[in-house]
């Protein structure tokens, strides 16, 4: 119990850093816009919710940083532009390690995470969200695995050539469904990811695609940044049925500090969004595609509307954790931030504020061992299971 006494004391008195022996891992955060500036290294960045300085202050030991390019049109020119952007963002992720070798290192396995954290460095895990820029060539997964990618989610906001999204991109002309879940290429990709030992991320998938991934995968999966549909009824959150299926598969949901999925929108905001969509001729099934300029204008006005909603809090976040734990058990739940892409709640707004989350967990009666599982143990377990399944298949 000596290991945990400091954790509990720190959480109870509200200090920021967590105990040095407690491994903390965020399975999903994004690069900030500043990562595209020449010379960016992620050491100190006041424009970002993540940098190595605040991670040290807050006690965050590791994070899966998303290699992410937003969904765009599926034409050759758009795809080429997206592929070039993917290369630039990958370089920015690696710059965190390459330019701070005394502060950070790339982790390719759970054992690496533990070793790097034990050495006092920050463990950078590279994930990939939205496989659209990969085109139709499954060999691209091998290429990005060689580069260091160890977690892959098929979609973001919008369908692509691999799968349907839980959030069709109306400005791109998406219908409610395109493939009925996974495309034939997506089904092949599940097998390829299993062969590589890459952990499949089911966040953002449509319900049908979620079901098909779980049916086809030979390994457990993770929902690296998802919340609970029973508490906030949106297609982006997981239903009770999906939570049960995730548990049966041996997987994990990382409850996400994203306000809009933790706190229901007000009727006023919902009406304003509907009115905005109508004014742009957008509706489910309409198939209207906006020009690039109109998409920018729509996004600006949309975020102006939803940005006026009151933010969720750490209490709301742990309410969702409580629900998931009661539904599927402590071994299948984790925590994630979605920082730099809309994530952050009052009380956990950047990587320096982990202590407030732990304080609320302690207040709810979670034991030190349970808190360890939520902060890293469950994610590392499911990642290792994906690696082990590859070894069995081989």
Q: Is the pTM of this model over 0.75?
A: yes
For residue 104, what are its two tokens? 């950070």
The answer to whether the beta carbons of residues 166 and 141 sit under 8 Å apart is no
101 exposure class (CB count in 10 Å sphere: 0-12, 13-18, 19+): exposed
CA dihedral sign, ordered 207, 208, 214, 215: positive
pLDDT of residue 371: 97
Give the count of beta carbons closer than 10 Å to the beta carbon of residue 12.
12
Query: How far is residue 1's CA from residue 240's CA, in Å, rounded to a whole number?
Result: 35
Per-residue model confidence (pLDDT) at position 286: 65
Rounded CA-CA distance 82/68 in Å is: 10
State the pLDDT at residue 21: 56
- The answer to whether the CB of 161 falls within 8 A of the CB of 132 is yes
Residue 50, CA atoms < 13 Å, CB-side half-sphere: 32
Q: Cα 101 to the chain's mean position, in Å?
A: 25
Structure tokens at 135: 């085109």
| Positions of the chain with pLDDT lower than 50, given as ranges | 1-18, 20
Residue by residue, DSSP assigns 90-139 as HHHHHHHHHT-TTTEEE-SSHHHHHHHHHTTPEEEEEEEE--GGGTT-TH
Burial call 129-157: b when 16+ CB within 10 Å, e when fewer:
bbbbbbbeeeebbeebbeebbbbbbbbbb
């Amino acid at each position: 119990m000596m290991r945990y006494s400091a954790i509990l004391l720190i959480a109870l008195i509200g200090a920021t850093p967590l105990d040095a022996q407690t491994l903390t891992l965020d399975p999903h955060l994004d690069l900030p816009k500043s990562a595209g500036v020449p010379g960016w290294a992620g050491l100190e960045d006041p424009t970002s919710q993540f940098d190595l300085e605040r991670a040290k202050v807050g006690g965050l030991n590791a994070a899966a940083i998303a290699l992410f390019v937003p969904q765009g049109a599926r034409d050759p020119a758009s795809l080429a532009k997206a592929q070039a952007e993917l290369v630039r963002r990958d370089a920015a992720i690696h710059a965190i390690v390459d330019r701070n070798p005394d502060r950070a290192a790339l982790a390719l396995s759970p054992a690496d995470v533990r070793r790097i954290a034990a050495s006092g460095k920050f463990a950078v895990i590279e994930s990939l969200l939205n496989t659209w820029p990969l085109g139709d060539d499954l060999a691209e997964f091998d290429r990005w695995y060689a580069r260091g990618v160890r977690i892959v989610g098929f979609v973001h906001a919008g369908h692509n050539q691999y799968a349907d999204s839980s959030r069709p991109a109306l400005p791109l002309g998406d219908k409610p469904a395109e493939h009925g879940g996974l495309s034939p290429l997506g089904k092949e990709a599940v097998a390829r990811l299993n062969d590589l030992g890459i952990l499949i991320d089911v966040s953002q998938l449509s319900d049908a695609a979620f079901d098909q991934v779980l049916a086809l995968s030979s390994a457990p999966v993770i929902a690296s940044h998802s919340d609970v549909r029973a508490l906030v009824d949106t297609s982006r959150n997981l239903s009770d049925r999906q939570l049960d299926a995730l548990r049966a598969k041996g997987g994990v949901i990382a409850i996400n500090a994203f306000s809009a999925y933790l706190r229901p929108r007000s009727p006023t905001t919902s009406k304003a969004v509907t009115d905005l969509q109508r004014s742009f001729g957008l509706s489910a099934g309409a198939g209207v595609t906006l020009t690039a300029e109109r998409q920018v204008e729509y996004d600006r006005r949309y975020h102006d509307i939803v940005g006026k909603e009151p933010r969720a809090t750490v209490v709301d976040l742990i309410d969702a954790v409580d629900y998931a734990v009661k539904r599927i058990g402590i071994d299948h739940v984790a925590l994630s931030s979605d920082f730099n892409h809309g994530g952050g709640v009052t009380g956990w707004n950047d990587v320096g504020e982990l202590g407030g989350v732990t304080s609320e967990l302690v207040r709810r009666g979670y034991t030190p061992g349970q808190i360890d599982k939520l902060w890293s143990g469950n994610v590392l377990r499911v990642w290792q299971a994906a690696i082990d399944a590859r070894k069995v298949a081989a």
